[in-house]
Amino acid sequence: MTNTFLAVHPFAKLDVPTFLSHQARHRKNHPFLIWEPFDGEPRQWSYAGFDAAVRQLAVGLSNRGVRVGDRVLIHMDNCPQILLAWYACAALGAVAVTTNARSAGKELSYFAEHSQSVAGITQPAFADLLAANCPSLKWIAVTETDSEGTRPSGQPGQGLESFDRLFADASDFVPRPADPDLPVGIQYTSGTTSRPKGVVWTHANALWGAKVCAIHENLMPNDVHLCYLPLFHTNAQSYSVLATLWAGATVVVQPRFSASRFWPISLKHRCTWSSMVPFCARALMDRDVPAQHQYRFWGNGICDAPWDAHFRVRTIGWWGMTETITQGTVGNPFAPDTPMTMGRPAPEYDIAVLDDEDRPVEPGQSGRLKIRGIRGISLFAEYLNNPEATEGSFDGQGYFDTGDRVILLEDGYLQFADRDKDMLKVGGENVAASEIERVIAGVPGIQEIAVVAKSDTMLDQVPVAFLLAHPENEAAAEVLKESVRKACAEELADFKQPRDVIILDAFPRSTLEKIAKNELRKMLEDE
């Protein structure tokens, strides 16, 4: 999407590789990326060293036939290679398609085919899964080790090649003209449809996320940002790594969260910033808090979290999503916030809270959260290959409907109320009920399906599947349930799979004979 209506583009003559090269010149020997594996030796890249490695990999991708606009599927847990691959694609003008590392084989097949990816980059743990389910990929490159340092025996299997051998002579790299409107990345996110939608970011989107996140987080060049959340998601990609790049700071990346390693790594690198999700905060409550830690702030979905006093760290609350690239609401790092809120509307966006008749709500009332910005800069460019979904997600005034409900407080702060009732939040992952229902619908013997959320102390919510079916006896009922579980295991990531399958003789009904999902939720609450 080209923003030809802009008199002056905020990122004119700038894109991700040109900004990386700019930082490589000005922050030359300052550490940019520090990798802390669970096994094996840590590694470190300076700004100049990371830029050089990115150019080497970009040349290698070009030598393997990747061209401007081509899509490359990157399926990995946290590791340095996922960042090198993402930035190398950006340098080349290709588009990095980052997929959830917990995806099932059929989900990967859909991602590869829908994105029309020409190649894949992965780790040994996922190599066979990718090769078996993504035959459309021309080639698949595999790293030497998994994220935790595990090194498989033998060579890559048939049809696979070594990721390390892709690196070529950086002197052969020919910078292309900077184009902020060129697509740079695609992330698949669950919506209210039965298939995940590919959210397309431009280079301008990535730079917007870098700059605005750095501002919201008050990041400075001497900050050290600990990143343990998955790099295939917006939080780690934008809030952590891109923000660090913009500030000229340092990011420390771990394979995943580890309660036993959190404080030792934080102390070792004098970390000052991190995103702290509730699950991780709860896991750290049982561990001693070091007296001399350096954390200035943590980021979370709520301001002034109840654990702040325990950890002696102030939490900056925020709200954002893949489509917004950065935070649409945010707390204030320089002044007290209303506790347990998601902050105030960020000044970079227009925010509306509307009732079901699209009227602004009064203080104290809840409504749908909508956000307005500039497509391809402050909001995503489009849903890949889905113009109907793209246009349908915006109203007549240009507001994007987030699917979240919030409460407008008397003091102007916003408080999260609920997700769209057909959306679940499972351990921080958005899951569409319809996506699970689509898979279960393929199991013979089921007349109707309804998937709803059940509260969970650790994961917030988990999916539960209700079936309308009439098995002959208890044994047949168990066979049917097992068929549902098997189908979901084959086609869905583990966090999307129902934690329970319940067979009903009849569904509760609402107006027009629709399934009354609120009654099903109440049944779970009453258990």
Is residue 470 situated within a structural domain? yes
Of 147-161, 248-262, 375-389, the poorest mean pLDDT is in 147-161
pLDDT for position 1? 45
For the chain, percent of residues with pLDDT exceeding 90? 76
Domain membership of residue 374 (yes or no) is: no
Please report the pLDDT score of residue 442 as a whole number. 87
> pLDDT digits over 221-239, tens only?
999 999 999 999 999 999 9
User: Is pTM, for the whole model, over 0.75?
Assistant: yes
Distance from C-alpha of 512 to C-alpha of 16, rounded to nearest angstrom: 51
What's the average model confidence in pLDDT over 464-493? 92
Residues 301, 279: contact at Cβ < 8 Å?
Answer: no
pLDDT of 73 higher than 70: yes
Interacting residues of 433 by C-beta distance below 8 A, sequence separation 6+: 422, 423, 424, 450, 451, 452, 453, 463
CB 323 within 8 A of CB 400: yes
- Whether the per-residue pLDDT at 192 is higher than 90: the answer is no
Instruction: Check if the beta carbon of residue 428 is closer than 8 Å to that of residue 493.
Output: no
Q: What average pLDDT does the segment 353-362 reach?
A: 92
19, part of any domain: no
The pLDDT score that the predictor gives to residue 109 is 97
- Among 63, 194, 65, CA closest to 117: 65
- What value does the mean pLDDT take over residues 76-96? 98
CATH code, 494: 3.30.300.30
Q: 347 or 441: whose pLDDT is higher?
A: 347
Residue 467 lies inside a defined structural domain of this protein = yes
Is the model's pLDDT at 351 over the cut of 60?
A: yes
Residue 272 lies in a domain: no
pLDDT digits (tens, 9 = 90+) for 25-51: 999 999 999 999 998 899 999 999 999
Query: How far are the Cα atoms of 72, 97, 158, 233, 422 from residue 143, in angstroms, in the given order?
Result: 15, 17, 15, 20, 38
pLDDT for position 111:
97
* Predicted pLDDT at 510: 65
Q: One-letter amino acid identity for 219?
A: L
Structural domain tally of the chain?
1
3-state secondary structure of 498: coil
- Across the range 53-78, mean pLDDT stands at 98
pLDDT in tens, 241-296: 999 999 999 999 999 999 999 999 999 999 999 999 888 898 899 899 999 999 99
Query: With 60 as the cut, is the pLDDT of residue 512 above it?
Result: no
Share above pLDDT 70 across residues of the chain, in percent, rounded to a whole number? 94
Burial class (CB in 10 A: 0-12, 13-18, 19+), 482: exposed
User: DSSP of 359-406, one letter per residue?
Assistant: -BPPTT-EEEEEEE--BTTTB--EETT-HHHHHHTB-TTS-EEEEEEE
Q: Specify the higher pLDDT residue, 152 or 315.
A: 315
Q: In this structure, is residue 517 part of a structural domain?
A: yes
Average predicted confidence (pLDDT) for the chain: 92
Cα four-point dihedral sign 418, 238, 401, 492: negative
Taking alpha carbons only, the member of 147, 143, 166, 170 closest to residue 24 is 170
Alpha helices in 371-491 (DSSP H): 387-392, 433-440, 474-491
Q: 394-411 pLDDT, tens per residue?
A: 999 999 999 888 999 999
Is 79 a member of any domain?
no
CB 206 within 8 A of CB 178: no
Q: 34 near 47, Cβ under 8 Å? A: no
Question: What confidence score (pLDDT) does residue 258 get?
Answer: 96
Q: Which domain holds residue 465?
A: 423-525
Convert the pLDDT of each residue in 302-319 to its tens digit.
999 989 999 999 999 999
pLDDT given for residue 146 in this prediction: 87
Q: What angle do CA 427, 430, 434 make, to 5 degrees?
A: 125
* Amino acid of residue 507: F
pLDDT digits (tens, 9 = 90+) for 201-212: 999 999 999 999
- Is 395 contained in some domain? no
Q: What is the dihedral of CA 476, 519, 434, 359, to 10 degrees?
A: 170
Rounded-to-integer distance, Cα 274 and Cα 526, Å:
38
Average pLDDT over residues 358-366: 92
Q: Residue type at 11?
A: F
Angle at 468 between CA 466 and CA 473, to 5 degrees: 105
Mean pLDDT of 368-387: 97
